[in-house]
Amino acid sequence: MDYLVELNEMSNATGNDGGYADYTNLTATVSRGAEQTIYVSCGFSGSSYTEYWHVWIDWDHSGTFDTNEEMVSGSSSSADKLNATFTVPSDAQLGTTRMRVTMKYNSAADPCETFSYGEVEDYTINVSTTGSYLASFNVNAKDLGNEMPTDVNVYPNPAIDYITVTVENGSRVGTISIYNMIGSLVKVEEINGNEKEVDISDLPAGSYIISVEDEKESITKQIIKQ
């Protein structure tokens, strides 16, 4: 997965940093009271997922991120460049301070949280009185929204001959595995996208677990075959 963070004169495109990266050698200049636009994106190699983005900036130089220092909060399953705006506090302390950008899969993150799937990156912000440099990164950028988490829906349920498996707020390149209630694997189908019709006419009547699986995780649902 590839990541991108852009703010004013600072632009940083990276790969997977193992969950955390210190980029405080990179600086973006902002001015007190100015409205700023930050651009972020994550490039999915196969499946796509709802990712929750947050940006905190330590305006008072206290060394901690306070609740009112969360500047951006949103979620999206898009691999496109996303943008969000925030306003620099008029009383922000001048000089350099830390900005933290987090991207976490399927749920919101705290500023100091450790999580399995996602990325945390730290940058430097330089607060000035006037004259911050504004770069034009807004080509084809989409607004960072507030999408629901990635989930799987299976219908009809109960079913007779066919079920349709849909991935909501994301897509999957992987498999759909069907298990009976004693845990035996009874059918496997490939999925490449966000919807797949599966023939279950050959399965005996009963309850089954549908598992949509890829390199990151599995999402399971229970169905009844009539």
What's the pTM? 0.86
Regarding whether 218 and 109 lie in a shared domain, the answer is: no
The count of structural domains within the chain is 2
Regarding whether 95 and 181 lie in a shared domain, the answer is: no
Domain final residue, candidates 143, 175, 205: 143
Regarding whether 119 and 62 lie in a shared domain, the answer is: yes
Which CATH number is 191's domain given? 2.60.40.3080
Q: What is the pLDDT of residue 100?
A: 97
Assess whether pLDDT exceeds 80 at residue 101.
Answer: yes
Query: Two tokens at 102?
Result: 């987090």
What domain range includes position 157? 151-225
Domain final residue, candidates 96, 114, 143: 143
Torsion angles phi and psi, residue 68, rounded to 5: -80, 0
Regarding whether 11 and 80 lie in a shared domain, the answer is: yes
Which CATH number is 90's domain given? 2.60.40.1930
Assess whether pLDDT exceeds 90 at residue 18.
Answer: no
Distance separating alpha carbons of residues 126 and 32, to the nearest angstrom: 10
Indicate the burial class of 112 (C-beta count within 10 angstroms; 0-12, 13-18, 19 or more).
exposed
Query: Two tokens at 177?
Result: 């595995």
Beta-bridge mates of residue 13: 4
C-alpha dist (Å) from residue 183 to 134, 154, 159, 164: 57, 19, 20, 21
* Most confident of the ranges 41-50, 80-89, 212-221: 80-89
DSSP assignment of 4-19 equals: EEEETTEEEEE---TT
